[in-house]
């Protein structure tokens, strides 16, 4: 089923047109999530184009910070060649959890089953006549 759906639904991964467009481009590397990074061609300003083919759903928050820097031309070479090894205290990056069950819910959020704190009396409603 996914083979038939893939050419038409870009949100499920790269479409046939995207893979077709990779002809003649250079595969730069792959991150720990399985996303593959490519470079090739020039934009109108003469800057090399760079892009990512996601392993799974297309979600920009799934790009690790070091590869984000490469995609946005903050570093020239692939991150594994120019950046130091991760420190022992660094946490692994997480995808954006908004819209999922793991999303942050403050204590007063209705979704968390909480109650809003009562007003302290310092609120004064605006009226157009005032």
Read off the pLDDT of residues 23-42 as tens digits, 9 standing for 90 and up: 788 899 999 889 999 998 88
CA distance to 51, 91, 95, per residue, from 37 (Å): 6, 22, 18
Number of domains in the chain: 1
Residue 117 lies in a domain: no
| Domain assignment of residue 89, yes or no | yes
| Better-scored residue on pLDDT, 129 or 107 | 129
Residue 62 banded pLDDT, cuts 50, 70, 90: confident
Q: Answer yes or no: is pLDDT of 124 > 50.
A: yes
pLDDT over threshold 60, residue 6: no
Q: Residue 112 above 80 pLDDT?
A: no
> Could you tell me the residue range of the domain that residue 84 belongs to?
2-110
Residue 123 lies in a domain: no
Judge whether 29 lies within some domain: yes
- Write the CA distances from 102 to 29, 91, 98, integer angstroms: 30, 17, 8
């Amino acid at each position: 089923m996914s083979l038939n759906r893939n050419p038409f639904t870009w949100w499920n991964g790269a479409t046939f047109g995207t893979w077709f467009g990779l002809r003649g481009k250079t595969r730069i590397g792959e991150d720990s999530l399985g996303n593959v990074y490519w470079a090739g061609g020039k934009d109108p300003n003469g800057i090399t184009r760079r892009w990512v083919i996601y392993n799974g759903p297309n979600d920009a928050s799934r790009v690790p910070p070091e590869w984000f820097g490469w995609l946005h031309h903050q570093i020239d070479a692939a991150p594994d060649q120019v950046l130091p090894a991760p420190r022992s205290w660094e946490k692994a990056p997480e995808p954006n959890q908004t819209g999922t069950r793991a999303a942050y819910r403050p204590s007063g959020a209705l979704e968390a089953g909480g109650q809003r704190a009562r007003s302290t009396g310092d609120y004064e409603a605006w009226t157009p006549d005032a």
